[in-house]
Chain A
């Protein structure tokens, strides 16, 4: 589903974020990406969504070479991805409901169908009762869950999460991990970056460990 081959990423200024990273993630796998901050976790996720491009090597998503994708094809790649951003990127000029509606508007969904889907997604993250609220009135954990609802409303095959439990206390973090596991059970491919070792304690999960831009064996 996701395949990196000898990927190098150097930022302007010479900083090398990724040095020869190679790995494969199969369809339906749930993988954690760990490492200290600055190890290149965010860069790796950005390469998958083509927010950044690799300097060399290839990034394949769904057998498409993302690094070589033209600007016109980019939106259609991103519609297959659900992305949960570290800084949420919620829009505070509209309600919780409208925030989740945005991906469906972009894909051109039918009005009535999208209403149902938005409510289903909000229900899944436990925010159905807050649909008319402005997201600015939500707590950190609720904003994070709203961001998840927006990422899954489109029913993407791949879910990318960048530090989804970053600033949350243990109970909230566990709650969010539970939500991710439920997606894993229905066959979604997940790649979750975190520096929070506590969420990894239970269960037998695959881990990719980054250190200074290189994958640890």
Chain B
């Protein structure tokens, strides 16, 4: 067993040696694979970050009911009862117009501007928490709430989040298509590299066949080469993505500070990184396997 492992390691060493024997050629291949994979991987990382942002903002959708300016205490009381009795509503919080103005003063730093106003421009409002938060039932609820007396405007807070969600869905599909195409390119690059290698080692393959090498023995160094090239390409892609995200984080930090928020791009998670490496290793192996299956049978000893 130990002997067999030593043999496989020997083949692996030989494959790596061969890769670095042609320094520039090997490096260029790895670079091509790395860049090809870094595009979908980078887009995926950005989408993951946007996804996190959406989840953070739209965790509990709320509906704001802004009342007409002439709504009286009686109207508000009636409305409160109606909302409490509604089956689709979990709870409703009343925000008086004076309190809303106070909050606005504190949270946005526009106290000077607001202090200059002659009268409070804000209406009374209810903040409604619905029981269900799928887009359809929220729409129905919004329609019903708009019919209530003295309700001027109904606003679904998470409206934009749903729009963003749909946009992300579109983005995910684009990443998937891009990843599919570039994976195909990776397989093609490996296929061609292995084809050239088989051609240059034609004599060795022929002699090996004549002195009793099994197909597995002949195939192994090519498969290992393909897998190694894929893996190194994957590492290259991971490095490109990680370096780019770190680079983007600084200007993004300055930008988000201007909007008074804290937003940083997170690098690929451990699981995603591992998937990227394993996937690129597998693609390299697949390209080599296809090439070997296609070309080795053409070399028969004479």
* Chain A min CB distance to B207 (Å): 5
Contact B3 A106 (CB under 8 A): no
**Is A110 among interface residues, defined by CB-CB distance under 8 A?**
yes
Chain A residues, Cβ within 8 Å of B208: 102, 106
Contact A89 B212 (CB under 8 A): no
12 other contacts beyond A106-B208, A108-B3, with CB at 8 A cut-off? A75-B213, A75-B214, A75-B217, A79-B212, A83-B211, A89-B203, A89-B207, A93-B204, A102-B207, A106-B212, A106-B213, A107-B212
Kindly identify which residue among A49, A71, A79, A111 contacts B6, using a CB–CB cutoff of 8 Å: A111
**Is A136 among interface residues, defined by CB-CB distance under 8 A?**
no
Interface readout for B1-17 with A: 1 if CB under 8 Å, 0 if not?
A: 00110110000000000
Chain B residue, CB-CB nearest to A106? B213
Contact B212 A75 (CB under 8 A): yes
- 18 pairs, CB–CB < 8 Å, chain A vs chain B: A51-B210, A51-B301, A51-B302, A71-B215, A75-B213, A75-B217, A79-B211, A83-B210, A89-B206, A89-B207, A102-B207, A106-B208, A106-B212, A106-B217, A107-B212, A108-B3, A108-B7, A111-B6
Chain B residue, CB-CB nearest to A76? B212
Chain B residue, CB-CB nearest to A80? B212
Contact A150 B211 (CB under 8 A): yes
Inter-chain CA distance A21–B99, complex, in Å, is 112
Q: Which 10 A-B pairs have the closest CB atoms?
A: A79-B212, A78-B212, A106-B213, A75-B212, A75-B214, A103-B211, A89-B207, A51-B301, A91-B204, A106-B212
For B4, B217, B301, the residue with the greatest tally of chain A CB atoms inside 10 Å of its CB is B301
Inter-chain CA distance A98–B215, complex, in Å, is 20
Given A89-B206, A91-B204: A106 and B211 within 8 A (CB)?
yes
The A88-138 residues at the B interface (CB cut-off 8 A) are 89, 91, 93, 102-103, 106-108, 110-111
Interface readout for A5-17 with B: 1 if CB under 8 Å, 0 if not?
A: 0000000000000
* Chain B min CB distance to A196 (Å): 23
Chain A residues, Cβ within 8 Å of B7: 108
Chain B residue, CB-CB nearest to A85? B210
Contact A91 B210 (CB under 8 A): no
Describe A's contact surface by its main secondary structure.
mixed
Describe B's contact surface by its main secondary structure.
helix
* Chain A min CB distance to B14 (Å): 10
Chain B residues, Cβ within 8 Å of A108: 3-4, 7
Q: On chain B, which size bracket covers the interface?
A: 10 to 19
Chain A residue, CB-CB nearest to B301? A51
Contact B204 A103 (CB under 8 A): no
Interface readout for A169-197 with B: 1 if CB under 8 Å, 0 if not?
A: 00000000000000000000000000000
For B6, B209, B214, B302, the residue with the greatest tally of chain A CB atoms inside 10 Å of its CB is B214
Inter-chain CA distance A75–B301, complex, in Å, is 12
Chain B residues, Cβ within 8 Å of A81: 212
Inter-chain CA distance A150–B212, complex, in Å, is 12
Inter-chain CA distance A111–B7, complex, in Å, is 9
Chain B residues, Cβ within 8 Å of A51: 210, 301-302
The A63-89 residues at the B interface (CB cut-off 8 A) are 71-72, 75-79, 81, 83, 85, 89
Contact A78 B207 (CB under 8 A): no
Inter-chain CA distance A147–B214, complex, in Å, is 21
Contact B212 A103 (CB under 8 A): yes
Inter-chain CA distance A72–B214, complex, in Å, is 7
For A79, A85, A89, A107, the residue with the greatest tally of chain B CB atoms inside 10 Å of its CB is A89
Inter-chain CA distance A85–B213, complex, in Å, is 17
Inter-chain CA distance A81–B213, complex, in Å, is 12
Contact A91 B203 (CB under 8 A): yes
For B6, B206, B209, B212, the residue with the greatest tally of chain A CB atoms inside 10 Å of its CB is B212
Inter-chain CA distance A49–B203, complex, in Å, is 18
Chain B residues, Cβ within 8 Å of A91: 203-204, 207
Interface readout for B263-302 with A: 1 if CB under 8 Å, 0 if not?
A: 0000000000000000000000000000000000000011
